Amino acid sequence: MDVFSKPKFFTTSTKGENAELLVELNSEYRERRKDAVKRVIANMTVGKDVSSLFPQVVKNMQTEDLEMKKLVYLYLMNYAKSNPDLVILAVNTFVRDTDHLNPLIRALAIRTMGCIRVDKILDHVCEPLKKCLQDDNPYVRKTAALAVAKLWDLDQERARENGFVEILQELLSDSTPMVVANAVTALAEMQESATIDNGGDVFVVNVVTMNKMLAALNECTEWGQIAILTSLADYRPVDSKEAENICERVVPRLSHANGSVVLSSIRVIMMYMRYLKNDDFVKALIKKMSPPLVSLLASPPEVQYVALRNINLILQKRPDILQNDVRVFFCKYNDPPYVKREKLEIIIKLSNGRNIDQVLSELKEYASEVDVDFVRKAVRAIGRCAIMIDEASERCVNVLLDLINTKVNYVVQEAIIVIKDIFRKYPQRYEAIIPTLCQNLDSLDEPEAKGSLIWILGEYAERIENAVELIESFLETFLEENSQVQLQLLTATVKLFLKKPSQSQELVHRVLQTATQEIDNPDTRDRAYVYWRLLSTDPQAAKAVVLSEKPPISVESGGGTGATGSGRGPSNGLAGVSRIAPGLMDELICNISTLASVYHKPPRAFLGNKAFSADAVRKAAVEDAKDEEQIAGEDAPVPGSAAAAAPKNAMADLLDLDFGSAEPQVPAYSSPPVSGTRAPANYNADLFGLSSDMGNMSGAFGGSNGLQNNMNGGNSASGSNGNLFGDLGGFGGFGQSPPLSQNQQHQQPQSTPQNTQSSAVNDLLDLL
Amino acid sequence: MASAVSAIFILDLKGKVLISRNYRGDIPMSAVEKFLPLVLDAEEDGQAPAPCFTDDGINYMYIRHNNLFLLAISRKNSNATTVMLFLHTIAEVLTEYFKELEEESIRDNFVIIYELLDEMMDFGYPQTTESKILQEYITQDAYKLEVQVRPPMAVTNAVSWRSEGIRYRKNEVFLDVVESVNLLVNANGNVLRSEILGAIKMKVFLSGMPELRLGLNDKVMFESTGRSPTKGKSIEMEDVKFHQCVRLSKFENDRTISFIPPDGEFDLMTYRLNTQVKPLIWVEALVENYTGSRVEYLIRVRAQFKRRSSANNVEIHIPVADDADTPRFRNGIGSVQYVPEKGCVIWKIKQLQGGKEFSMRAHFGLPSVKNGEDTDKRPPISIKFEIPYFTTSGIQVRYLKIQERSGYAALPWVRYITQNGDYQMRMPDSIKSSKMAPI
């Protein structure tokens, strides 16, 4: 492993050591040989290469000393692959050991043989394996059952030909529960990779097997119970009554001390619920599930984390669960950050008109903690509560104002971002607080917070006396700003002009000029062109477009709280609570307690293709077609750089389409602007030539307006701020991958740099 | 939905592998080299790394134990709960074998750890993890040629936690009912959460295969049987969890707790209930902060339980500012100590009788110039205590019936104790009595 990092003499001494070991391994004294084997294993543990000793070590395999035997076996498992030809030396001893009087050795031999992933050994493994599967001793049988799965993994055909599938199926009726559990485990794994070409299904859970499994369930070890419960979830009950019966058999498992048994039971119950027709029974089940879920919070933090991610899912599927339990999710001071984050998500989901006061005081407390990331999330949570619960919005706003008064920089900025969303949700309700917000102008240094405040200034320009001065002061640094802020400034200035034309004519002219001439970012520049043309063509149309009614914001919108690209947990939410599309939701419910339920992603989204057999891929493809839209966000979260350029083309094309017929000069404009280069002088000239001729073009504009409105309808969930020209760019993006819906926004990996995103995404940001 | 893991590693905090076991051979063992960098990257991004994550088709699931990482990797959609619990089980079993699980004990015992890893998991699926049973056939010194160990019957029996043929001269059972109180009080003195986590711990020294039946004053049981408790009240448990030896379906049917116990010590059951009762020990803090000169704390403690009980070994941890100096204390009872490395004052009271109230004053100097930001945020006050012969819930063991074929008489002993769990009271805001108030 680290041969290269060591000084040279050390390498030679390793060689020397191997030579020395070689002698010792051949010693006539048993104890010395045993010590030598131990040293070999010790060297293997620290990563030294001892594969050259293979023949000598294997010679020591034939011994009655169990410890020695285990060590040699361990060595074999590790180095068989590097010495496939020599493995044959060990086969005889293996086969003999599977006949040994001691069941421990029989089991050990068959277990180890299965772990040696070398083709040569396969020829010799089948006979002993058959014997072991029928061994008198249950310990040997339970070991052999798993050995079948090992063989299957290497050579399905051979496993089928030798009748192992049938033998395993018979083991489901074994008298020893642990043998049954391992048979279930092995069959379930084999079924997953079973191919049609080779004879199809090996394990379909039917009434008979289901009853066998239920019989073994009560007597199994905790791990065996999990295996059985997992396979039980694959059974499709014929009617409501049967589903009820099975649920009744599973419910007692909710009292098991092992949290995984509990969650596996909950998976079975949640999956069977869709077959249940008896509402009272369902209600009773829901009631029984709550306490065990809460008790999982007394587990070690890592288990708590998994439990919390699952509770998050279950809550979305069954909002009637845990209704009176919000307090158990309040964070403890010493909870690890990843637990706090998840608890916060659940607190928001459980907050309602009845408990909001409690929740708010708790969130306010979190907002004064030291962990900046957590504080920000707490502030955002307050905003989410305001948007979710109308009657509590005023209390939320008051808490946010309290927080702004703390003057803690990042708290203030986060609060302003959140207040912008509240303004969108409840227009005309909280304008009175604008002066307080404006007092904090100078402390804003994050683009998102700055953009939010500027948005508020533009939106309420007519009510803010010194709006012109305020925007003017922001414009002083226009060129240095982040493009997100520039876009907001641009829009706010135009809004200002439309609302107070007399005071800001010069201002808007200056901004448009700067943006078109001095800014390289195509998004900002193009938007400025569009505004300019719009304003000079038809100010009324401009008003209709820029000051149009915004689509309503809701808790579901704007969030990116779902799984992140890296799968390390949820990303920052905006105003929205993460919502999972129903199709994906059902799939995740089938995966409760697994990694998929932790990542909130379907398994195929994070499993490498290597894990898939051809058939599994085929199956997945069929399902893919079914819920295509879910993965659209996963597999192609953001179009690459090529796609990022494409919307520009589309936009240019669109403009081309609208104006081209009337103005032959247009090609100068419609050639896609190249980012990074200054617009040449004649380019501008052409444009103005064009715009001056555009007086008669409002009809064309009206047409495009209608188009945009359509798009807005499709796009309303995105929480786009109704800035139609932004959406124009967005249209290009949509043209690229048609079936995009909410999912895309939820699953957008946060790590993607903004400027490589398509303008569709930029327009989301535009709103921030 | 195969839950199997591919390999298990124990690493030190620098990411060096101390020992590992490859169960499935479908992931190159070098994948472990990416583990720590990935965790550190996540930390740098300000995203606290979650205990499981995926990278390049490989899933990493890990726990921290002392100065070690226990890591499992898989290529499949593994059962995350199982894997996390299994890693904790490994830590528990190894701790029972070696007292301490740490780098040194791993190096000294690598042979036996390999054996345990081989026995506890096969092809990535957990197998036998009951440490008492494992110790019967995986031991450090039992390898004598003459007597070769065999797998204990218990491994595959329905009763997988107890071996046959156990003999004691004196048959005894000790029951400890331990209730831990979790309390969270906010700065205004409102109780946010108050719950009891109870556990019935047993020490069993019984011969043969005894059948035990435990009776509690469980309200649901009384209701379902239509009887009423002979004396005292009954209690309502919100959630009960049992050791795997308890017959769960029997409990679900008629609330009978019947079982064949493991030998020695184990937790028979845990239960949880929310209480509306007064917090047992109440602490009030008054902080006066004279910025730039001194800070004063007035702490009042009140024992809000019955007079005839008393709390032992009470410790009240009061967080104080990091830059505080020259402590002075005035206390009516117990001893007070400033522990700068923990950033708190510890007030210890050996015995606190029910109904009593005491106070303590602490006085610190503060530097005249504040360094850095005003990090006013303090951890909460935490309190430790134990109250013997007392349970908050009122749970009672009504009987413990012991039956064994040989018909011996056995003595059950029961003890009750209440202690602190996460018992925290958030620090109130300090009163700024600054003479040099900022304008």
Q: Which of A327, A567, A599 sits opposite B192 (nearest CB)?
A: A327
Residues of A in contact with B86 (CB under 8 A): 223
For A170, residues 6+ apart whose C-beta sits below 8 A from its C-beta are none
Q: How far is B174 from chain A (nearest CA, A)?
A: 21
Distance between first and last Cα of chain B: 65
Which alpha helices (H) appear in B25-179, and where do they start and end?
35-44, 80-98, 103-108, 110-120, 131-137
- Residue B158 and residue A568: Cβ atoms within 8 Å? no
Q: Judge: B242–A372 Cβ closer than 8 Å, yes or no.
A: no
- 3-class secondary-structure state, position A505: helix
- Neighbour tally for A82: CB within 10 Å: 12
Instruction: Tell me the one-letter amino acid at A645.
Output: A
Mean residue pLDDT of chain A comes to 77
Which residue did the predictor score with more confidence, A194 or A694? Answer: A194
User: pLDDT tens digits, residue range A548-585?
Assistant: 887 777 665 433 333 333 333 333 333 345 678 888 99
CB A94 within 8 A of CB A122: no
Residue A273 has a pLDDT of: 93
What torsion, rounded to 10 degrees, do the Cα atoms A25, A29, A31, A35 define?
-20
Among the partner residues B19, B51, B267, nearest to A45 by beta-carbon distance: B19
Interchain contact, A74 vs B375, CB within 8 Å: no
- CA B128 to centroid of chain Cα atoms: 23
Residue A588 has pLDDT above 90, yes or no: yes
Q: Which chain B residues are Cβ-neighbours of A71 within 8 angstroms?
A: 111, 114
Query: Pairing relation of β-strands B411-425 and B172-185?
Result: parallel
Provide φ and ψ at B424, rounded to 5°: -130, 140
Question: Could you write out the DSSP letters of every residue in A579-640?
Answer: ---HHHHHHHHTTTTBHHHHHTS-HHHHS-GGG--HHHHHHHHHHHHHTHHHHHHHHSSS--
Phi, psi angle pair for A235, to nearest 5° = -75, 140
Are residues A594 and B3, on separate chains, in Cβ contact within 8 Å? Answer: yes
Nearest by Cα to B18 from B129, B105, B119: B105
| Mean pLDDT of the region B5-31 | 94
User: What is the average pLDDT across A317-322?
Assistant: 92
The pLDDT value given to residue B188:
87
Percentage of chain B modeled with pLDDT above 70:
92
Identity (one letter) of the amino acid at A245? Answer: N
CB contact under 8 A, A221 and B192: no
* Closest of A616, A558, A185 to residue A384, by C-alpha: A558
CB B22 within 8 A of CB A150: no
| pLDDT digits 0-9 by tens, A75-130 | 999 888 888 888 888 888 999 999 999 999 999 999 999 988 888 888 899 999 99
Q: How far is A611 from chain B (nearest CA, A)?
A: 6
What three-state secondary structure class fits A764?
A: helix
Phi, psi for residue A379 in degrees, rounded to 5? -65, -45
d(CA B106, CA A588): 39
CA gap B436, A114 in Å, rounded: 78
CB atoms within 10 A of CB A694: 20
Cα(A763)–Cα(A724) distance, integer angstroms: 9
Q: What is the pLDDT of residues A360-384, one digit of tens each?
A: 999 999 998 888 889 999 999 999 9
For chains A and B, CB pairs below 8 A equal 279
**Partner residue facing B248 (CB), from A65, A253, A608:** A253
Instruction: Please give the angle made by the CA atoms of A696, A698 and A704, to the nearest 5 degrees.
Output: 140
Could you tell me the two tokens for A384?
């989410």
Q: Which of B11, B23, B54 should be substituted to probe chain A, the one whose Cβ sees the most A Cβ atoms within 10 Å?
A: B54
Q: Which two tokens stand for residue A714?
A: 């499709």
The pLDDT, as a whole number, for residue B148 is 64
Mean pLDDT of A348-352: 94
Q: A20-42 pLDDT, tens per residue?
A: 888 888 888 888 898 999 999 99
B241·A218 Cβ contact <8 A: no
Q: Which residues pair with A686 in a beta bridge?
A: none
**A53: distance to nearest CA of chain B, Å?**
19
CA A217 to CA A231: how far, in whole Å? 11
Is the CB of residue B175 less than 8 Å from the CB of residue B200?
yes
Q: Determine the distance in angstroms separating the CA of B410 from the nearest CA of chain A, rounded to an integer.
A: 27
A582 Cβ partners below 8 Å, 6+ apart? Answer: none
Domains of chain B in sequence order: 7-155 (3.30.450.60), 172-277+392-424 (2.60.40.1170), 281-388 (2.60.40.1170)
Model confidence at A751: pLDDT above 70:
no
Alpha helices, DSSP H, located in B166-284: 219-225, 248-254
**Contact criterion met (CB < 8 Å) for A568 and B50:** yes
Between A513 and A714, where is the model more confident? A513
Across A252-266, B50-64, B140-154, B333-347, least confident range: B140-154
Higher pLDDT: B70 or B187? It is B70
CA end-to-end span of chain A = 49
**B436: pLDDT strictly greater than 70:** no
Spatial separation of the C-alpha atoms in residues A158 and A405, rounded to whole Å = 74
pLDDT, chain B, mean: 88
Which segment of A623-632, B186-195, B425-434 scores lowest on mean pLDDT?
A: A623-632
Q: Per-residue DSSP letters for A198-221?
A: GTS-S----HHHHHHHHHHHTTS-
Contact state of B85 with A328 under an 8 Å Cβ cutoff? no
Point out the residue among A74, A104, A567 whose CB comes nearest to the CB of B53. A567
Asked if pLDDT for residue A753 goes beyond 80, the answer is no
Of B49, B249, B380, the CB nearest to A252: B249
Tokens 């999972």, residue? A580
Collapsing DSSP states into helix, strand and coil, what is residue B365?
Answer: strand
Task: Check residue A556 and give its pLDDT.
Answer: 53
> How far is residue A78 from each of residues A215, A269, A300, B25, B323, measured CA to CA in Å?
39, 42, 33, 10, 56
Prediction ipTM score: 0.89
What CA–CA distance (Å, rounded) separates A592 from A268? Answer: 9
Q: Which of B4, B20, B169, B210 is nearest to B106 (CA)?
A: B20
The whole-angstrom separation of Cα B333 and Cα B346 is: 13
pLDDT in tens, B165-187: 899 999 999 999 999 999 999 88
User: Which residue does chain B place closest to A366, by CA atoms?
Assistant: B377
* Nearest beta carbon to residue A256 from set B46, B75, B248: B248
* Residue B85 to residue A259, Cβ atoms within 8 A: yes
With 60 as the cut, is the pLDDT of residue A669 above it? no
Which amino acid belongs to residue A620?
A
Average pLDDT score over residue span A56-79: 89
Task: Give CA–CA dist B70/B79, Å, rounded.
Answer: 16
Q: How far is CA A418 from CA A223, A381, A391, in A?
A: 46, 9, 17
Residue A442: per-residue pLDDT:
81
Residue A244 is predicted with a pLDDT of 95
Instruction: Name B352's bridge partners.
Output: B311
User: Is A527:A726 a contact under the CB 8 Å cutoff?
Assistant: yes
More confident position, A284 or A616: A284
pTM: 0.81
Task: Quote the tokens at residue A195.
Answer: 């191919």
Whole-number percent of chain B with pLDDT over 90: 64
Q: Which residues in chain A have their CB less than 8 angstroms from residue B148's CB?
A: 64, 66, 102, 104-105
- Write the DSSP assignment of A424-488 as a string of letters: HHSTTTSGGGHHHHHTTGGG--SHHHHHHHHHHHHHTGGG-TTHHHHHHHHHTTGGGS-HHHHHH
Cβ neighbourhood burial of B438 (10 Å; 0-12, 13-18, 19+): exposed
Is the Cβ pair A295, B252 closer than 8 Å?
Answer: no
pLDDT on residue A609? 54
Nearest to A596 among B19, B77, B128 (CB): B77
Measured between CB atoms, which of A255, A259, A303 is closest to B248? A255
Owner of token pair 């007394």:
A298
Q: If you average pLDDT over residues B245-267, what whole number do you get?
A: 92
Calpha distance A303→A319 (Å, rounded) = 22
From A694's Cα to the closest Cα of chain B, the distance in A is 50
Q: What is the rounded average pLDDT of the residues A484-494?
A: 90
Which of B75, B81, B111 is the closest to A608 by Cβ? B75
Chain A's closest residue to B158, CA to CA, is: A219
pLDDT at residue B127, as a whole number: 95
Q: Who's near A206: CB < 8 A, 6+ residues apart?
A: A235
Contact B193 A192 (CB under 8 A): no
| pLDDT for B136 beyond 50 | yes
Cα–Cα nearest to A646, from A757, A750, A742: A757
Measuring CA to CA, which residue among B315, B284, B281 is closest to residue B384? B315
Task: For A723, list phi and psi in degrees, rounded to 5.
Answer: -85, 95
Question: CB distance B145–A65 less than 8 Å?
Answer: yes
* B355: region left, alpha or beta (phi > 0 left; psi from -120 to 50 alpha): left
In this structure, is the dihedral angle defined by the CA atoms of residues B332, B335, B339 and B345, taken in order, positive or negative? negative
Whether the pLDDT of residue A298 is over 80: the answer is yes
pLDDT on residue A578 = 61
Three-class DSSP category at A51:
helix
Q: A478 or B84: which carries more pLDDT confidence? A: B84
Our CA-based measurement puts residue A456 at a distance from the nearest CA of chain B, in whole angstroms, of 29
Res A666 pLDDT > 70: no
DSSP, res B427? P
In A, which residues are within 8 Å of B87 by CB distance? 302
Residue of A428 and B63 predicted with greater confidence:
B63
Query: What is the strand order of the sheet B264-274 is part of?
Result: B239-242, B264-274, B191-205, B172-185, B411-425, B381-388, B310-319, B344-353, B335-339
